[in-house]
């Protein structure tokens, strides 16, 4: 698989929402970007709060932009706050450096990223990981 297909993105989305239901989480937004950073698929469960779509996108976008899952971005922000702030300024505030943004890998090939927002960052990340794994791909959360 060289590209992230719409069918694969749907599998990721469905499995992420299934994991959310299993864990009885708050309503989520799941955003899936391809390797170019172009929106492949996004959906919001009923009852999501305001800004969740932008946050989910920022988690996925940040992971792609920096080449690491957003958990690693979060760690980097803890250690090098000025650097992450500078990068986010360059990115016009588009990065959300907290867990929940996960790179989608097919072996060593980057296919895109998933961003999830709506519950705790750890739960958001768990749903992204479940989605990617259900599609038979590897996840890099950082």
3-state secondary structure 81-121: HHHHHHHHHHCCCCCCCCCCEEEEEECCEEEEEEEEECCCH
**In this predicted structure, what is the pLDDT of residue 7?**
97
**For residue 1, is it within any domain?**
no
**In this predicted structure, what is the pLDDT of residue 68?**
97
**For residue 89, is it within any domain?**
yes
Among the listed residues 38, 29, 102, the one whose alpha carbon sits nearest the alpha carbon of residue 66: 102
Range of the domain at 69: 6-140
H or E element, residue 66: helix 52-66
Report the number of distinct structural domains present in the chain.
1
**In this predicted structure, what is the pLDDT of residue 120?**
98
* CATH assignment at residue 115: 3.30.450.150
Among the listed residues 66, 4, 17, the one whose alpha carbon sits nearest the alpha carbon of residue 46: 17
**In this predicted structure, what is the pLDDT of residue 122?**
98
User: CA 142, 27, 70 angle in degrees (round to 5)?
Assistant: 15
Q: Mean pLDDT over residues 2-20, rounded?
A: 96
Instruction: Identify whether the C-beta of residue 141 lies closer than 8 Å to the C-beta of residue 107.
Output: no
Average pLDDT, the chain: 96
**For residue 21, is it within any domain?**
yes
Q: pLDDT tier at 46 (50, 70, 90 boundaries)? A: very high
Q: Mean pLDDT over residues 57-74, rounded?
A: 97
């Amino acid at each position: 698989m060289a590209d992230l297909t719409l069918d694969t993105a749907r599998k990721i989305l469905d499995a992420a929402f299934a994991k959310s239901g299993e864990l009885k989480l708050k309503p989520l937004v799941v955003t899936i970007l391809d390797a170019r950073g172009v929106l492949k698929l996004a959906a919001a469960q009923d009852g999501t709060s305001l800004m969740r779509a932008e946050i989910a996108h920022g988690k996925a976008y940040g992971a792609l932009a920096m080449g690491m899952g957003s958990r690693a971005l979060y760690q980097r922000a803890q250690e090098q706050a000025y650097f992450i702030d500078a990068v986010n300024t360059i990115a016009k505030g588009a990065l959300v450096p907290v867990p929940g943004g996960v790179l989608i890998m097919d072996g060593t090939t980057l296919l895109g990223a998933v961003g999830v927002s709506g519950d705790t960052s750890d739960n958001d990340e768990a749903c992204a990981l479940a989605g990617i794994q259900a599609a038979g791909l590897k996840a890099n959360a950082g």
